[in-house]
């Protein structure tokens, strides 16, 4: 009986160890998990290159840092906060919505809106004078110049002759 209990205990301990090892292996963050955060960051060494596709050694080190922090159980936001605190907000692909950074989010839509209004007014101005001129032409009808009359007369005569 003692022997049986000993074997049972050893089996349980061994299975527990294997489970722990397997669990530890499962918690190693994958490249996809790392890159999901890395693509939101930019390496300041090679400017304008997202961290997930940057081939330099500096970026490789940063990706490893992300992997390490994910393994420690840190959230995406905590990792991004770490990078901002240490390397500055310039590492973020999207500037944080604070202070002067708001201009980045406000100015483009405002400019698009202003542009749309200007275009609308310009198109309207291009079409209005034509209609106005047409109206004016009709008004002019009665008091048209003699040269216009001659031209119309000649045209009418030629049309009659053709008939």
Which single residue is written with the structure tokens 């939101």? 40
Contacting another protein (CB under 8 A), which of 56, 75, 93, 127?
Answer: 56
45 contact partners, CB below 8 Å, separation of at least 6:
56, 58, 59
Site string for another protein, 79-98 (x = CB under 8 A): -------xxx----------
Contacting another protein (CB under 8 A), which of 6, 8, 10, 45?
Answer: 45
Residue span binding another protein (CB under 8 A) among the ranges 4-12, 25-33, 132-140, 151-159: 132-140
What's the closest the beta carbon of residue 102 comes to another protein, in angstroms? 10
What's the closest the beta carbon of residue 120 comes to another protein, in angstroms? 12
What's the closest the beta carbon of residue 103 comes to another protein, in angstroms? 7
110 alpha-carbon distance from chain centroid: 17
Contacting another protein (CB under 8 A), which of 10, 136, 152, 155?
Answer: 136
Closest Cα to residue 39, out of 9, 68, 63? 63
40 near 32, Cβ under 8 Å?
no
What's the closest the beta carbon of residue 38 comes to another protein, in angstroms? 14
Residue span binding another protein (CB under 8 A) among the ranges 15-23, 27-35, 72-80, 121-129: 121-129
The residues pairing with 92 across neighbouring beta strands, listed in sequence order, are 41
CA angle 115/119/125 to nearest 5° reads: 145
Query: How far is 155 from 160, CA to CA, in rounded Å?
Result: 9
68 near 74, Cβ under 8 Å?
no
Give residues in contact with another protein (CB under 8 A).
Answer: 44-45, 56-58, 60-62, 64-65, 68, 86-88, 100, 103, 107, 110, 114, 121, 125, 128-129, 132-133, 135-136, 139
């Amino acid at each position: 009986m003692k022997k049986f209990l000993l074997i049972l205990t050893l089996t349980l301990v061994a299975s527990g160890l294997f489970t722990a090892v397997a669990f530890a292996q499962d918690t190693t963050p994958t490249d996809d998990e790392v890159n999901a955060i890395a693509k939101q960051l930019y390496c300041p060494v090679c400017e304008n290159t997202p961290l997930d596709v940057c081939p330099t050694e500096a970026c490789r080190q940063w990706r490893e840092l992300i992997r390490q922090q994910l393994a420690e159980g840190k959230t995406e936001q905590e990792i991004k906060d770490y990078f901002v605190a240490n390397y500055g907000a310039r590492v973020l692909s999207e500037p944080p919505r604070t202070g002067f950074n708001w201009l980045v989010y406000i100015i483009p839509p405002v400019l698009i809106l202003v542009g749309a209004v200007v275009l609308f007014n310009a198109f309207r101005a291009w079409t209005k004078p034509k209609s106005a001129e047409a109206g004016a032409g009709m008004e002019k009808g009665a008091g048209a110049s003699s040269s216009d009359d001659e031209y119309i007369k000649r045209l009418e005569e030629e049309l009659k002759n053709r008939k």
